């Protein structure tokens, strides 16, 4: 059983850690992550270890910094101190000659391809159909052929009971259906078989519907 502990005192601090068995590299390893917005210190030295194949939940009061930590894992927020590794990548930086250099936007985008994110507000493109929403990133960013992306999208939609809604627009779907499309979009993004999939889901009124 992974040991999970989190100390919440207005802001997130402390450790959230799972045990990684001998020699196995953690899927995610964040060490001493600090992040402030202006004068608000949100993350105060957070350590997070996620073993491969595990499901990890970040639980804490609203405003305690869960989303901020997830955004740091993707370098959507720049950390003030600490380091984050996802698989082999040091997120956002390259180590050269013992110093850290921030990566170009292009290089960060490449790292993000192995990380899927489902946003709390699903952020589907309103002018694209369900299938187009799912295929957009694999085709434009991942270089996947449109036909192959479309096939993968269909298979994923089938799994979540939305096979018949491929050509619907987000506004024609319920909140829960939109959420499932957003999950499929995260799963379809990046090379097949990649391991890190993150969810930042609100258990809001739309959940499950
Ligand atoms: N871009 C930002 N600028 C200023 N403050 C922010 C920003 N993003 C988040 N915060 C603040 O950081 C704190 C943590 O927010 P967040 O990580 O969204 O919390 P949670 O996801 O745990 O509800 C909150 O006080 C929020 O107001
Ligand atoms: Mg949040």
In tens, the pLDDT along 17-70 reads 555 566 678 999 999 999 999 989 999 999 999 999 888 889 988 889 998 999
**Ligand 1 center from residue 168 Cα (angstroms):** 33
**Ligand 2 center from residue 143 Cα (angstroms):** 31
Mean pLDDT to the nearest integer, 131-141: 92
**Of 82, 90, 96, 127, the residue nearest 110 (C-alpha):** 90
For ligand 1, whether the C-beta of 132 sits within 6 Å is no
The pLDDT-based confidence of 190 (bands split at 50, 70, 90) is low
Mean pLDDT to the nearest integer, 80-104: 91
For the CA of 200, the nearest ligand: 2
Distance CA 150, CA 138 (A): 10
**How many percent of the chain have pLDDT more than 70?**
79
Q: Give per-residue pLDDT as tens, 114-124.
A: 888 877 778 89
Mean pLDDT to the nearest integer, 93-98: 89
Q: Given a cut of 50, is residue 209 above it in pLDDT?
A: no
pLDDT value for 23: 66
For ligand 1, whether the C-beta of 99 sits within 6 Å is no
The pLDDT-based confidence of 93 (bands split at 50, 70, 90) is very high
**Ligand 2 center from residue 22 Cα (angstroms):** 33
Mean pLDDT to the nearest integer, 147-175: 94
Classify the phi-psi angles of 131: left when phi > 0, otherwise alpha if psi is within -120 to 50, otherwise beta.
alpha
Distance CA 57, CA 77 (A): 20
pLDDT value for 79: 95
Number of residues in the chain: 209
Q: How does the average pLDDT of the chain come out, rounded?
A: 82
For ligand 1, whether the C-beta of 39 sits within 6 Å is no
H and E: helices and strands count for the chain: 5, 10
In a mutational test of the pocket of ligand 1, which residue from 6, 9, 40, 70 has the highest number of ligand atoms less than 8 Å from its CB? 40
Distance CA 33, CA 78 (A): 10
40-72 as b/e, with b when 16 or more CB fall inside 10 Å? ebbbbebebbbbeeeebebeeeeebbbbbbbbb
> Counting beta carbons within 10 angstroms of the beta carbon of residue 144, is it exposed (0 to 12), middle (13 to 18) or buried (19 or more)?
buried
Is there a contact between 201 and 207 (Cβ–Cβ < 8 Å)? yes
For ligand 1, whether the C-beta of 63 sits within 6 Å is yes
Distance CA 190, CA 110 (A): 9
For ligand 1, whether the C-beta of 64 sits within 6 Å is yes
The answer for residues whose C-beta is within 8 angstroms of residue 128's C-beta and 6 or more apart is 136, 169
Distance CA 59, CA 39 (A): 24
Q: Given a cut of 60, is residue 16 above it in pLDDT?
A: no
pLDDT value for 165: 95
Mean pLDDT to the nearest integer, 177-191: 85
Query: Which pair of structure tokens corresponds to residue 39?
Result: 């004068």
């Amino acid at each position: 059983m992974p040991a999970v502990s989190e100390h919440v005192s207005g802001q997130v601090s402390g450790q959230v850690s799972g045990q990684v068995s001998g020699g196995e590299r953690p899927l995610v390893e964040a060490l001493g992550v600090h992040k402030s917005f202006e004068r608000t210190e949100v993350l105060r030295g957070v350590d997070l270890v996620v073993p491969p194949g595990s499901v990890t939940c970040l639980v804490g009061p609203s405003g305690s910094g869960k989303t901020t930590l997830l955004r740091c894992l993707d370098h959507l927020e720049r950390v003030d101190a600490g380091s984050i590794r996802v698989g082999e990548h040091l997120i956002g930086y390259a180590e050269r000659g013992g110093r850290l250099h921030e990566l170009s936007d292009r290089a960060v985008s490449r790292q993000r391809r192995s990380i899927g994110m489902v946003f709390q507000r699903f952020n589907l493109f309103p002018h694209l159909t369900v299938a187009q929403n799912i295929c957009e990133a694999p085709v434009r960013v991942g270089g996947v052929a449109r036909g192959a992306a479309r096939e993968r999208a269909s298979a994923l939609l089938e799994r979540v009971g939305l096979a018949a809604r491929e050509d619907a627009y987000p506004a024609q779907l319920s909140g829960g259906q939109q959420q499932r499309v957003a999950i499929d979009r995260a799963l379809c993004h990046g090379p097949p078989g990649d391991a890190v999939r993150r969810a930042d889901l609100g258990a809001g009124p739309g959940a499950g519907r």
